[in-house]
Structure 1
């Protein structure tokens, strides 16, 4: 008792009135279903980890635990073939991509080995391969050049390893805290523009190397690289023979294998593996050619064309990466773009292949995987690594069965590091450039995909080309920022300008489509079912047939649908639209409210002097009676939106004074949205005349048939409810809830069952759909009109 007294004093001190508190109405009989409000304590309870939640969290951290004990020989064979196949591809690619990062070729092998060796334990994708990629390598190379321009004392590998470690820590933190959903803020258009712009920039930068042109600065803006390459075509050296022929050979082998695979489907698997190994074939071929041409050369500078040179055997840079304040301050400005690229490439690729191969990935867990790879990779000499599109596609087509295939690829890389480095000495640099150009060509978004973008959302095509052009004319980093910023701006614009529509009623029946196509006059006997109501946009923006009449549900009743939510960004736009429309189609309750012209407000001055007002036209308009808001697309509302509704209610009540506008809500499924509306004074009786059955109102509620032995408690706790999803608005309950069978308006009550309300009877203004809300409004208005008519007769 003392506690209640103290609480009351505190509420009085804070100015909280009893009518402001959230509580159930107390004038309903016990045994009826009443909705209870979600509490802040209930919301916080869902944030407290439980024992089962902690176990589930750690099981998610090591997903291999769910499949490793089922491993079998069939899976082993598939993984072995796929792993070895990818291994033959990743060795030449890794060395080539290390050159993009301005690092010696062995660093590409270090990076690839760590990615393949560690990823499988944390993977939720069987197809993805982590390692060196062209785009990330180019970004790293640009960062190294940028930092060394002002701090030449910092070595390239020190910068690359520190960048990998810090970005890996960031990704690991995002993954461990399960914030992987942030990747959803990067749309497909931004990813496509980034990949296309990056591919064009990388390919353009490799053409001078492929042609043996040493006078072109390949790290300038892409358009300058293209122009300078064309200017210096006369400086082409013998390297062009090694590069152009290798590029032609790569495309020819792919085309020929695809052609033969179509001609002989029974051998398509053989032709696929030949096509997959084309990079290894080209590298072996040109190593042999280079060895024949440069036999006896011990120094790569004396070779007849540029070759790779000495590649140290084994891991030569094992140890902790150097981290100090100087390095941290140098790489800090470049961390955002590094993290974004790592996120974009890996998650986009893994999600894409997951959908194709019928499994789902966990974005947060994938971030844990690439986070671990980039944290431990620098200790063996690795630089930032992420998912590779080309190698992932090869791995998937090669028949990979589990993420363990990465181990076999790591073994191939390890063998290359210790047994084949002497052979790598003769690899022509022009041939490696051709391999890079061939690999990044698949990253360019094809025209047919851009055309699909145009058909879906023309505005996003503008963003796509903006990102590509910015990447070409400035830098890849700027292209990333522009596309993400532009996509975010479009998202905010769409939210702020989200459409809303006033609805009208249409009486529907069902008929066969053939009878409509044959343009037959369908008689009543050919129609299926009884008439029922549907609610369509009065403005016909939904492309409904203009021949079909759409009528108002009742004079003075308006239905408004929020098509894309209601929040502080768009609430003013929605409510202003409602005000203008409703004022245009209704009249004041009191036509002569202002006796003097000086009493009128400035924003409603009335007619000008001498102007004749058509009083009959004004009187023909209905008075505003009720507003129905369709919240089926609204998941949650904020304080600004709730206050805007309160202000609009006050404005309309002044407009209809002395009558009061009634507000009905349809399709409110989120319990916290209901709580917000109730806190704002909507949805429940606040002294506006709601009485017991038989009084002045007769509200309509949606009901369903329920077994008589099912007990109906006053709230969820008395019913023994289960877990409550605060965001989805679903309340679980006991097993008997599953026995409830829906009862449509056209059916009689099932035998032996009683009727139970779908929503609580203490929320008479919340309805399951627009139709039920309209039925409730019309019944109450008809009842009020009958009451007023009977009062006039008595008078």
Structure 2
């Protein structure tokens, strides 16, 4: 061996030779010490945490080492992504966007009119919302596939919450509060993006969203019984009990058979079209144009038969012309500002959650990255501008986005095409909707939201996680039996409760050795794993914080007591060593250190040696900083469970 090699071996502080009595083992000739990382100062640690939380994507990276002129261009492209991808735009892409835009326009026009009624707003406001917001999003959004406009769930949420503050019959005040709500929804969404707080929406679990959407779909469908059955006096409440009571009470004198015939027949047509479109992807255009065809056919039917004279309720009038300014109608002072702010934040968060989920879904399908914070700024800006142009809260529509995707959209230009078609509709066609029956709008809404009831997703949630299923059902029944707001509150509350439960009551496990290996695994998962005589190995599957440190200490002691009771009954040797496997422990705080100190002293009284295995960088640094490493002894902190076992029970290791 060369002199340099000998010097390297002598100065290697991470390897300790086992005493000569143990050197005959070829499997474990060395026990490695746990490396002690260099200590970081507080400012560096805080800056690292701050960067990982808010700037993990390093948004300033493209600007580094660039001239000022280039930085200005990059800044504009960051704010308006269309300036970047438009340079590569060509006729082939435009063909795809044109077809997709025309297809989603045929779907959005009847939906917009229907969703506006769901929000208790004039039908033209629904069309306004599919004109200005999609244009703004096309310039600022980063998703290529999302289709912007009013959606059923947000429309219901706004309608149910606004009518609790102002009677929809007071049309002017109600409309002003709707614009105020949209204004604050846009502000809330923008602030989340600007301050890079998008991670907050991830606190609402997928299970809670599935339950909330399903409950909202049921509630929305029940609300449409008014239009589907031709009922004039209908409850303002959204819970299933109140709605069904209102339907039953009106059965003798409030139903209209002509309305029922129109509504049920076209609802069947819409559902069959949707079924055919799902079975044959080449016919995706059929369910897309079915709503517009239904509106045209039913309107013509009412006009020719004069059904409005026989009790069939119709739209009557849609205001002609483009979006009028509504800046002066927003409440900036007075008692309704607080109501607008509260409802706006709730509606904005729901709209944001839906849009981000849709955008991420289609981005994954086409394999491109979606910048969540940019999306929030884009969505917030479009709602802010929309509130000033007679729109209410807009977001990404799943049904329209799916049609947009299947129609072959290539970029956000499909939204621009859709907006132009809506503009032409507002300028030229709106008087033709005069005889459109309300029943057809109810049918369109029901056919659109029926897909939100995802039974298969609920079954999967039940199989995977029972607590998730409770969250799902809590949100579902909260929406159906109480109100949309309460259902949303339950969804958020259960999601947070799950987080708290997992943080305060983390999992622990007893480990055993798999035969013919140096691997130690959970004995419940691997029944063949054999525990080492005289040694108890416990794994902690969580960071150790003030919220769970006392529980972890007590749970380890309970494991110890249970094992000692078993050993006593079987007359086996007592436990002399307790090894805590700490590889899953990502962090530890002061309370966690104190809990380990208490555990060490408690074990010391019972003549049991505590050892730690494989603590991570942050954990080992804190163990040294707190002097706990000195208390337990540095030779009791091991790189792996196998090293600890070899130190405490070499004969057992060699036999295995």
Normalising by structure 1, we get a TM-score of: 0.70
Which residue does 2:274 correspond to in 1? 254
Kept in 1, the 8 Å contact 2:133–2:149? The answer is yes
The secondary structure found in structure 2 opposite 1:664 is strand
Question: Does residue 309 of structure 1 match 2:309?
Answer: no
Secondary structure, aligned partner of 1:312: coil
Aligned position for 1:567: 545
Q: 1:628 to 1:620 in 2, by over 3 A?
A: closer
Quick check: 2:583–2:613 contact (8 Å CA) kept in 1?
A: no
**1:774/1:151 Cα in 2 relative to 1: closer, same or farther (>3 Å)?**
farther
Where do 5+ consecutive residues of structure 2 fail to align? 1-9, 15-34, 65-73
Matched residue of 1:558: which SS?
Answer: strand
Deviations 1:240-294 (A, max 9, x none): 23222221221233345556x4xxxxxx63x322332111111111222222234
CA 1:353/1:661 → structure 2, altered by over 3 Å: closer, same or farther?
same
Conserved? CA contact 2:214–2:454, under 8 Å = yes
Q: Pick from 565, 569, 591: which aligns with 1:640? A: 591
1:377 pairs with 2:248: no
Over 3 Å counting, the alpha-carbon distance change for 1:574 and 1:101 in structure 2 is same
Question: Counterparts of 1:252 and 1:433 in 2: how far apart (Å)?
Answer: 16
Match of 1:233 in 2: 251
Report the Cα distance in structure 1 between the residues aligned to 2:502 and 2:336, rounded to whole angstroms. Answer: 42
2:433 alignment partner in structure 1: 424
Distance 1:52-1:311 versus aligned 2 partners, 3 A rule: closer
The answer (yes or no) to whether the contact 1:500–1:563 under 8 Å persists in 2 is yes
Matches within 5 A, 1:125-144: 125-144=143-162
Equivalent position of 1:624 in the other structure: 576
Give the TM-score normalised by structure 2. Answer: 0.84
Residues 504-540 of structure 1: CA distance to partner in whole angstroms, max 9, x if unpaired? 22323xxxxxxxxxxxxxxxxxxxxxxx222123xx3
**2:527 aligned with 1:534, yes or no?**
no
Cα deviation, residue 498, structure 1: 2.2
Q: Deviations over 1:96-121 (max 9, x none)?
A: 11111111111001111122111123
Aligned positions, number: 602
Q: What's the secondary structure of 2:393's corresponding residue?
A: coil
Moved more, 395-404 or 102-111: 395-404
How many Å separate the matches in 1 of 2:145 and 2:260?
Answer: 35
CA distance in 1, matches of 2:267, 2:210: 24
Cα 1:141–1:623, aligned 2, differ >3 Å: closer, same or farther?
A: closer
Partner of 1:100: 118
Kindly indicate whether the alpha-carbon contact (under 8 Å) linking 1:130 and 1:370 is maintained by their aligned counterparts in 2. no
For residues 284-433 of structure 1, the aligned pairs below 5 Å read: 284-294=296-306, 305-315=312-322, 317-320=324-327, 321-322=329-330, 323-433=332-442
Q: Sort the Cα spacing of 1:193 and 1:419 in 2 relative to 1 into closer, same or farther, 3 A.
A: same
SS at match of 1:147: coil
* Contact 2:540–2:581 under 8 Å retained in 1: yes
Contact 2:298-2:437 within 8 A present in 1 as well:
yes
Of 309-318 and 773-782, deviating more is 773-782
Aligned counterparts of 1:160 and 1:199: Cα–Cα separation in 2: 22
**Residues 236 and 304 of structure 1: is their aligned pair in 2 closer, same or farther, counting only changes over 3 Å?**
closer
- Which piece of structure 1 moves more, 208-217 or 308-317? 308-317
Check whether the contact 1:148–1:154 (CA below 8 A) recurs between aligned residues: no
Correspondence 1:576 to 2:554: yes
**Counterpart-to-counterpart distance in 2, 1:136 and 1:78:** 29
Correspondences of 1:117-196 after superposition (within 5 Å): 117-149=135-167, 155-196=173-214
- Asked if the contact 1:318/1:379 (under 8 Å) is kept, the reply is yes
Map 1:439-478 to 2 at 5 A. 439-446=448-455, 448-478=456-486
Distance 1:35 1:457, change over 3 A: closer
Structure 1 residue 650 corresponds to structure 2 residue 601: yes
Distance 1:42 1:474, change over 3 A: same
Q: 1:283 aligns with which of 286, 290, 295?
A: 295
Q: 1:154 to 1:251 in 2, by over 3 A?
A: closer
Partner of 1:756 in structure 2?
none
- Tell which structure's C-alpha radius of gyration is larger: 1
Residue 329 of structure 1 and its aligned partner are, at CA, apart by: 2.3
Match of 1:40 in 2: 42
Which residue does 2:87 correspond to in 1?
A: 69
Task: For residue 146 of structure 1, give the secondary structure of its aligned residue in structure 2.
Answer: coil
| 1:494 positional shift | 3.1
* RMSD value, Cα: 3.2
1:29 Cα deviation after fit:
5.5
CA 1:151 to 1:249, structure 2 compared with 1: closer, same or farther past 3 Å? closer
Aligned equivalents of 1:135, 1:549: Cα separation in 2: 51
- Cα deviation per residue 1:758-788 (whole Å; 9 max; x = unaligned)? xxxxxx8352x33244345557999xxxxxx
1:86-139 deviation line (CA, Å, top 9, x unaligned): 011111111111111111111001111122111123323222122101111111
Q: Residues of 1 paired with 2:444 and 2:306: CA distance?
A: 21
CA contact 2:130–2:148 (8 Å) conserved in 1: yes
Change (3 A) 1:223 1:381: same
Q: CA deviation at 1:567?
A: 2.5
Aligned match of 1:724: none
Greater length-normalized contact order (CA 8 Å, ≥ 6 residues apart)? 2
Distance 1:311 1:151 in 2: 17
SS in 2 for 1:155: helix
Give a deviation string over 1:311-356, Cα, whole Å, max 9, x none: 1222353141422232212324434432332233222222333333
Instruction: Confirm or deny: 8 A CA contact 1:293 1:304 kept in the other structure.
Output: no
The 2-side partners of 1:203 and 1:51 are apart by 43
Q: Residues 630-671 of structure 1: CA distance to partner in whole angstroms, max 9, x if unpaired?
A: 222221122221221122223333443xxx9453231x33x3
The partner residue of 2:622 within 676, 680, 684 is: 676
- Residues 571 and 423 (structure 1 numbering): CA distance in 2 closer, same or farther, change over 3 Å? same
**Deviation, structure 1 residue 395:** 0.9
The 2-side partners of 1:106 and 1:288 are apart by 20
Tell me if the contact between 1:126 and 1:400 (Cα under 8 Å) persists in the aligned partners.
yes
User: Is the alpha carbon distance of 1:407 and 1:89 closer, same or farther for their aligned partners in structure 2, counting shifts above 3 Å?
Assistant: same
Mark the CA change 1:617 to 1:401 in structure 2 (over 3 Å): closer, same or farther: closer
Asked if 1 retains the 8 angstrom alpha-carbon contact of 2:105 and 2:421, the reply is: yes
More helix by share: 2
In the alignment, does 2:510 pair up with 1:502? yes
Deviation at 1:569, TM superposition (A): 2.6
**Take 1:96 and 1:618, find their aligned partners in 2: how far apart are those partners?**
73
Aligned partner of 2:637 in structure 1 is 765
Q: Does 1:198 align with 2:224?
A: no
- TM superposition shift of 1:687: 9.6
Query: Is contact 1:133-1:387 (8 Å) kept?
Result: yes
Cα deviation, 1:374-406, whole Å, max 9, x if unaligned, reads 111111111111221111111111111122221
Once residues 665 and 62 of structure 1 are traced to their aligned partners in structure 2, the CA distance between those partners, rounded to angstroms, is: 51
Instruction: Output the CA distance in 2 between the equivalents of 1:496 and 1:431.
Output: 52
Higher mean C-alpha deviation, range 474-483 or range 565-574: 565-574
